[in-house]
Amino acid sequence: MAERVLVLGGGVAGLLAARRHARRGALVTVLEPGRRWGGRVSPHELAGLTLDAGAESFATRGGIVLDVARELGLEADVVAPEPRPAWVVAPDAAYPLPRTGWLGIPTRPLDPEVRRVIGLGPAVAAALERSKGLDDVPDDVTVGALVRSRLGAAVADRLVAPVLQGVYSRPLDDLPLAAIDPSLPAQLRDAGSLTALAERRRRLAPAGSAVLGIRGGIWRLTAALAEAAAGAGARLVPGTGADAVARVDGAWHVSAGGGTLVADTLVVALPQPAAHALLPGLPEPPGGVDRRVALVTLVLDAPELDEAPRGTGVLAIGGVTRAKALTHATAKWAWLREAAHGRHVVRLSYAVTPGEDVSGFALADASRLLGVPLHAGQVVATHAVEWADAAPARVADTRPEEGLELVGSAAGLTGLAAIVGAEARAEA
């Protein structure tokens, strides 16, 4: 009899795992609590536009997400963002991020763009980092401790923190280097300096932008992936989540939709809090905290934004706004600018507590971050969505017991590149 596989969660990680198991002949069922596939890579409708409700781009490192897009027939619709810089807004300044860097770490500290942000003295000190001996780098070193000791506080606070805190929703001193990529501590030891590591990583990236999108929205990747999983034989069941899970006589018994499903293999592709609620025996990952993010999207009739005064987006530091970041989506993506017909789409991200409504901050925050006075009469539409477990902690073992597989957020992965990379390794 074919192996029975039950996947909990129909986001990217769950759909990829479903396709993998279905391709090898397993009987696969996917349960998705929501009405739509994709999780954080799903669409929403606003002012006649179909927009991304979560992720709106993917990292190009390794080319692995691009390979999946190509496999799903989306290669012709893969697009690069407009070549405008992102900005940082601090209490005392607003400045574009230097283009020469990796994760905010400058590969050329004496470049004029860098000197304008951190000053000549800190730039010279950072340029000397290559000549410093590299002590043993522990695997659990934090980005904050590493960058401050190697490159100085100015680089950490004004360049690296805006970039990474916007992605990982935690302070640099609480962000392990290995949370970005488990191999980075070893890569740093091999490179011999942080600047050399940044240069290597820049060279490894494909030519062009560090991120790419898909014409029409990144959600199209998930829609195509759901079709591919179903085409491989997986049964997709939206609007149904698991209520309880038990291990009985070597099989998984899952209560869902008023019945019980039995599986030989259980794939968990849920946020870590939901995974632990169903399987309290899972080991707690280090530093595991349910960090929640709300995304507020505004559609604006604001000709003042036509010239993209703050490039493709803004990272906020120092508490200048309640929002931690803003994306000027119609400045970033040419296809969306065309579809919006003169209106502007901006997306603001917030760290929130469960159920907190931050949409009331959005217009004032957008005005502050974009440097343009905006008023309520210019708001065409507003939409807010909350995502749980925005910065999950990586688990030590993604197969903690027989017949159990943790993928995506349940495994502590953040971002499409990390999720697709892990799936590629599992498939291999």
Q: How many CB atoms lie within 10 A of CB 20?
A: 21
SS3 state of residue 333: coil
CA 271 vs. chain centroid, Å, equals: 13
Residue 205 pLDDT: 60
- Asked if 293 contacts 387 with a C-beta cutoff of 8 angstroms, the reply is yes
The CATH architecture to which 292-387 belongs is Alpha-Beta Complex (3.90)
Dihedral angle sign, alpha carbons of residues 399, 402, 405, 411: negative
pLDDT at 62: 76
Out of 3.40.640.10, 3.40.50.2000, 1.10.1840.10, 1.10.3110.10, which CATH number does the structure's domain 100-208 have? 1.10.3110.10
d(CA 146, CA 161): 12
Tell me phi and psi for residue 187, to 5 degrees: -65, -40
Element (H, E) at 417: helix 416-427
Rounded Cα distance, 152 and 146, in Å: 9
Q: Report the DSSP pairing between strands 404-406 and 265-268.
A: parallel
Rounded Cα distance, 345 and 298, in Å: 6
The full set of domain ranges for the chain reads 4-52+214-286+392-427, 100-208, 292-387
One fold for both 100-208 and 292-387? no
d(CA 234, CA 8): 13
Q: How far from the centroid of its chain's Cα atoms is residue 177's Cα?
A: 16
Radius of gyration of the chain (CA): 22
pLDDT at 208: 54
With residue 155 as reference, give the H or E element that holds it. helix 153-155
What does the block give as tokens for 345?
Answer: 């789409």
pLDDT in tens, the chain (428 residues): 799 999 999 999 999 999 999 999 999 999 999 988 998 899 999 999 999 999 999 988 778 999 999 999 999 999 999 988 889 999 988 999 888 788 899 999 999 999 999 999 999 999 999 998 888 888 889 999 999 999 999 999 999 998 887 677 778 998 898 888 888 999 999 999 999 999 988 876 654 567 899 999 999 999 999 999 999 999 999 999 999 999 999 999 999 999 999 999 999 999 988 999 999 988 776 655 667 889 999 999 999 999 999 999 999 988 899 999 999 999 999 999 999 999 999 999 998 988 899 999 999 999 999 999 999 999 999 999 998 877 777 888 999 999 999 999 999 888 898 899 989 988 87
Contact 318, 335 (CB under 8 A): no
Smallest CA-to-CA distance from 410 within 399, 425, 424, 421 is with 399
Residues 209 and 333: beta-carbon distance below 8 Å: no
pLDDT of residue 156: 95
pTM: 0.87
> Could you give the CA distance from residue 176 to residue 138 in angstroms, rounded to a whole number?
10
| SS3 of residue 404 by DSSP | strand
Cα 277–23–231 angle (5° rounding)?
90
Q: Which residue spans within 223-361 are E strands per DSSP?
A: 235-238, 242-248, 251-256, 259-263, 265-268, 292-300, 313-316, 325-328, 344-352
Give me the CATH topology for the region 4-52+214-286+392-427. FAD/NAD(P)-binding domain (3.50.50)
DSSP sequence for 77-136: GEEPPPS--EEEEETTEEEEPPSSEETTEESSTTSHHHHHHH-HHHHHHHHGGGGS----
